[in-house]
Amino acid sequence: MRIYTVNKLSSAHIIVRLLWGEQPIIGRRDAASMSPFSFLFTQVIILLCIAAVTVLICCIFAVARKESLIFLSVFFGAYCTEMYILLLGEFQGFQTVSDALTALYSRMLNLPLLRLLISFLLCVGAWEYSCSVLNVRHLGWRIGIPITLFLAQSTILIVVPERVLQQMLFYAIREIAAIVVVAALLMRQSFASEQEPGISKRQSRLLSRAFVILILVFVEEIVTRPAAKSLLSLNKYIAYFFLSRNVFENLIVGFCAYHTISDGIRMLSARLSHSGSMQGAFDTRVAQFGKQFMLTEREVEVVSLLLYAKSNQEIATELVLSIGTVKSHVSHIYGKTGIHSRQDLAQLFWETT
């Protein structure tokens, strides 16, 4: 018995379906209920993303209004939305086991504009976060990469007719972009000068682990999808779990969300533990911090602006200095305080003043 009914569609109908999406008509007789493991796995990823967004928003308002935190919250928010849509579709019984391939790979044709928007936000969040860490200010690089990926994924949805290949290409582009972002961050750490280390050693270790998982994500996409029929014949529930979600991608997002929550809570704890004294003058506390670590008057001014999440260019403009001089001051501050990043500076400041 066929679950899907295929009718002839007019060109206008095809255009409307491509733009706005159309839910497939699927019989309930052969509908597959979600296994408890699939349900819990998806819920854990969603809750981790929600917690990460919540902690990031608190850090933005309570610690520092850094653009990297804003873009990171956009990334986790978009991924949470994508996972919620996946969970909702399965919970409503739209997917089947007997027609798993047809149903699962048709998902990208359902509400394609929403899918493209979510994927675009994921790309923007991850790329802009990396640009803020790498101190990339060139507008062409910052907006060109996300727009290029958006156009590439849009082209795939329009041009590629075969749904399995369409799904593979759509997600492969996203995964390659993620690998490039993490590789760029690792290279930035490897070739960073002493003037601007960029990311801490701990973050470098986490990124190395994330890079390994990302390679597994790409391998899974290459190996699992073509072997879909074999998985389906082996065990329908295992096949459904692996075909309906990118397991390693979910794991790496959960991994990043966990460490984001951990770092954010440490920053908030240090900040809130001194909330009673925040009514005092901020300049007094910065001066106290400078005396404690024997900073010069100019370095104290730089610290104050760093705590306000100012970029090197903004600091140079405000203090009427060259970029090289600002980088030199930042390097001296890092050396005297024994830290490696601006995040470490903010945490150290709230812990010691």
pLDDT score at 192: 54
For the chain, the distance separating the N- and C-terminal CA atoms, rounded to the nearest angstrom, is 72
* Last residue of one domain, picked from the residues 240, 271, 302: 271
Q: How many angstroms separate the CA atoms of 58 and 275, rounded?
A: 14
**238 and 341, same domain (yes or no):** no
| Dihedral sign, Cα of residue 57, residue 75, residue 133, residue 70 | negative
In a domain, 5, yes or no: no
pLDDT over 80 (residue 231) = no
Please give the pLDDT value at position 49: 95
pLDDT digit string, tens, across residues 32-71:
445 677 778 888 999 999 999 999 999 888 777 778 888 9
Residues 316 and 184 in one domain: no
pLDDT value for 115? 78
Task: For residues 178 and 303, state if they share a domain.
Answer: no
Note whether 76 and 196 are same-domain residues.
yes
Q: For residues 307 and 271, what is the distance between their CA atoms, to the nearest angstrom?
A: 12
- Tell me, yes or no, whether 40 lies in a domain: yes
pLDDT confidence tier of residue 286, bands split at 50, 70 and 90? confident
Q: Give how far Cα 234 sits from Cα of 41, 107, 261, 330, Å.
A: 21, 23, 38, 58
Q: Which residues pair with 96 in a beta bridge?
A: 31
In a domain, residue 95? The reply is: yes
Question: Average pLDDT for residues 175-185, to the nearest whole number?
Answer: 75
Closest to 92 (Cα-Cα) out of 44, 31, 43: 31
Mean pLDDT of the chain: 72
265-to-4, 63, 280, 332 alpha-carbon distances in Å: 49, 11, 24, 28
Flag whether 127 is in a domain. yes
Task: Please give the pLDDT value at position 55.
Answer: 94
Task: Please check the confidence at residue 236 and state whether its pLDDT lies above 70.
Answer: no
Higher pLDDT, 111 or 252: 252
Residue from 295, 340, 300 nearest 319 by CA? 300
Instruction: Please classify residue 125 by burial: count the beta carbons closer than 10 Å to its beta carbon, then call 0-12 exposed, 13-18 middle and 19+ buried.
Output: buried
**What is the domain count for the chain?**
2
Question: What is the span of the domain harbouring residue 236?
Answer: 12-271
pLDDT tens by residue, 188-210: 666 555 444 455 555 566 666 66
Which residues, 6 or more positions from 235, have their beta carbon under 8 angstroms from its beta carbon? none
Listed residues 271, 302, 318: the one ending a domain? 271
Give residue 77's pLDDT: 94
What letter represents residue 332's amino acid?
A: H
The pLDDT of residue 89? 65
Domain annotation covers residue 145? yes
Of 142 and 50, the structure prediction assigns the larger pLDDT to: 50
Residue 4 maps to a domain: no
pLDDT digits over 239-271, tens only? 555 555 677 788 888 888 998 898 888 878 766
Assigned domain for 1 exists: no
Is 118 a member of any domain? yes
Least confident among 52-61, 88-97, 141-150, 171-180: 88-97
Bridge partners, residue 73, by sequence: none
The least confident of 194-198, 232-236, 272-276 is 194-198
- CATH code of residue 305: 1.10.10.10
| Beta-ladder partners of 31 | 96
Domain boundary among 271, 288, 321: 271
CATH classification at residue 130 = 1.20.1070
Could you tell me how many residues make up the chain? Answer: 353
Percentage above 90 pLDDT, the chain? 8
